[in-house]
Structure 1
Amino acid sequence: MSDEGSAAGARRGLAQRQSGVLSRRGSDESGPREGEAKLLQAAEALLREGTSLAELSVARITERAGLTRTAFYFYFRDKRELLERLTEQVAAALYEQAEQWWGGEGAREELAEALDAILRLHREHAALLRAVVEASTYDEPTARFWRGLVERFVAGTERRLVADGVDPVQARALSVALVWGVERACYQQIVGSTGVSDADLVAALVEIWDGVMAPRRRPRAGDGASVTR
């Protein structure tokens, strides 16, 4: 490419970025991230209302958000990136709940509270999570993204098991089974195919997790348990 062509391309790129900024500012004076938030909220609202992933076009999202296509592409490369960022927000909330148990005493009550909160978040964002999980069955980038999110929970559980004295190899295998078991159970629950109540599902998950964790839990100072030397 000639220097003249490169300069022209650079000018076009600058003009596009400036256009995006001006468009965003024209409808988003209160803050630089409000436009992004509007687009994320619009996408999830459309999914909740029954819009399929195939029907969830950039045009529909921007129309719902009251923004332009230029503004959309200022914040996101494409629809997949928008959905990933939206899912990351939900995953952060799920991770926060899990961390309360990972960093706690490991009591059964803490576990029950964490699993209950995780299922409630699945319910709250059911349309989004259902769309992303279903997309992961046929779209490899989405599949890698979803596996990466779940791996964070596997790694957190693995660290907790190792801290409680479980052999690292066994801790890894147990964590994979436990976390993916919760992922599958919550997904099936939100699509309505289990035939059990949310409370009964949480109780069953607590039985499974506590059944694995309790026998392997390292006694903690002050809990009244004796340590065999």
Structure 2
Amino acid sequence: MTSRAPRPKAPLGRPLSAESDILAATQRLLVEGASFTALGVQQITAAAGVARSSFYIHFRDKADLLVRLGARLLTPTFDAASAWRPSDGLEALTETFERMLEIYRRHYAVRRALSEIAPYEAAVGDFWNREITQFTDWTLALLRTEQEEGRTSPDMDLPSATQVIVTGGEQAIVGHVTTRPVATDPVFAREMARIWWYGVYRRPADPTA
């Protein structure tokens, strides 16, 4: 059996694989203010410290790169949101929003790039739509269960409430993290939770109640 030489150790603080290097370098460039449209593969690989050919070993194109960066934002966000159930209560919902704000702050530059590219790049637009549809379907099913079991108002229009939660909530979070300091996150999370809790999940059957 042929012996295999040990893999070289990466310098401290640097990921070992070229794929991770490229992802990290692209996010760093975006955080520094670069436009994703203007970023070239050569600029990305130079910042990552890898050969240009390495890019195409790991990514089909720049759209594929952005989709993978986008998954680092949307997957943990959905995981955090879907881990909460109305039975967990208002305080747990506030904590959920705090975790989502933390994720969005860490990846806000990627979110900006998704908005920049999705309208004209089909692969990115399809990725965004799939992720939003997943959250939409989950929210609609959760609200339907709450309504059927009598825990929220029977006159709630479920598709409308779902749209407000998914589209409105995401836009509100983006607006917050891009315009207000991190110190305001707990207050914002509390207000978001109260709006959802009293406006949707525990909306009284009698609107005068």
Give me the CA root mean square deviation: 2.8
Report which of the two structures shows the higher radius of gyration computed on alpha carbons: 1
Higher relative contact order (CA 8 A, sep 6+): 2
Which 5+ residue runs of structure 2 have no aligned equivalent? 1-6, 10-15, 149-153
Pick one of 27, 30, 35 that aligns with 1:52. Answer: 35
Pick one of 196, 201, 205 that aligns with 2:188. Answer: 201
The farther-off stretch of 135-144 and 81-90 is 135-144
Aligned counterparts of 2:78 and 2:184: Cα–Cα separation in 1 = 23
Pick one of 160, 163, 171 that aligns with 2:145. Answer: 163
2:112 match: 130
Once the 2 structures are TM-superposed, how far is the Cα of residue 52 of structure 1 from its aligned partner? Answer: 1.5
The farther-off stretch of 143-152 and 113-122 is 143-152
Aligned counterparts of 2:159 and 2:204: Cα–Cα separation in 1 = 14
Which 5+ residue runs of structure 1 have no aligned equivalent? 1-27, 218-229
Q: Could you report, residue by residue, the CA deviation over 1:196-228 in whole angstroms, capped at 9, with x for unpaired residues?
A: 9333322221122102111379xxxxxxxxxxx
Is 1:186 the equivalent of 2:173?
Answer: yes
Matches within 5 A, 1:93-108: 93-102=76-85, 105-108=87-90
> Amino acid of the residue matched to residue 103 of structure 2?
L
Residues 135 and 142, structure 1, Cα contact 8 Å, conserved in 2: yes
Matches within 5 A, 1:16-165: 34-102=17-85, 105-165=87-147
2:202 match: 214
TM-score between both structures, scaled by the size of structure 1:
0.71
Q: Give the count of matched residue pairs.
A: 186
> Amino acid of the residue matched to residue 60 of structure 2?
R
Once the 2 structures are TM-superposed, how far is the Cα of residue 47 of structure 1 from its aligned partner? Answer: 0.8
Aligned counterparts of 1:44 and 1:79: Cα–Cα separation in 2 = 13
TM-score between both structures, scaled by the size of structure 2:
0.77
Aligned counterparts of 2:121 and 2:176: Cα–Cα separation in 1 = 23
> Amino acid of the residue matched to residue 213 of structure 1?
Y
Q: Percent identity?
A: 28
Aligned counterparts of 1:134 and 1:193: Cα–Cα separation in 2 = 21
